[in-house]
Structure 1
Amino acid sequence: MATGWAHDGAVQEQIDSTIDDAVQRARSQLPKGESLSHCEECGAKIPEARRAAVPGVRLCIACQSEQDKQQASYAGYNRRGSKDSQLR
């Protein structure tokens, strides 16, 4: 149920679009190709179990954790149409 000038289903379209963007971004960050035996960042050996579990892995667990923390700061877009959400 949309309000104002928005058409019916507009809220659901915003939700779907936000989810689609998040899935697209996550898929684009998946590793591709052959796994490395040593970390790209620090040169530490990547355990065989990790290379088997994550095809295309390029970072050790420590470096991957650090990269994940940095990417978590990405908040995405605010697609909510309420005036309150735009004032924050």
Structure 2
Amino acid sequence: MDHAQRLEERERNAGIAEARARLSSGGESATYCAYCEEPIPEGRRKAMPGCTLCRDCQEELETM
């Protein structure tokens, strides 16, 4: 693994940790996805307090 890959992995892990911290705090959910800017359905916002990504973007982030 080269330096750029390690840096990318650290940044990704930091982003995931930040997102998990927001979720565990039960903060207010975003109404639009932070990545694709599409609306986040009300059901997801209620089920995942503090979410900032739509389901599709969240799944993509988790599978990277």
Q: Shorter-normalised TM-score: what interval?
A: 0.5 to 0.7
Aligned AA for 1:52?
Answer: K
Give the TM-score taking structure 2 as reference length.
0.61
Structure exhibiting the larger radius of gyration computed from Cα positions: 1
SS at match of 2:52: coil
Structure 1 residue 31, shift from structure 2 partner:
4.8
1:30 aligns to what?
A: 20
TM-score of the aligned structures, taking structure 1 as reference length: 0.45
The yes-or-no answer on 1:55 pairing with 2:49 is yes
Q: Which has the higher contact order (CA 8 A, sep 6+)?
A: 2
The alignment-based identity, stated in percent, is 42
List gaps (5 residues or longer) in structure 2: 1-16
Write out the 4+ residue segments of structure 1 that deviate beyond 3 Å after TM superposition. none
Q: Where do residues 69-88 of structure 1 align in structure 2 (5 Å cutoff)?
A: 69-70=63-64
Residue 66 of structure 1 is matched in structure 2 by 60
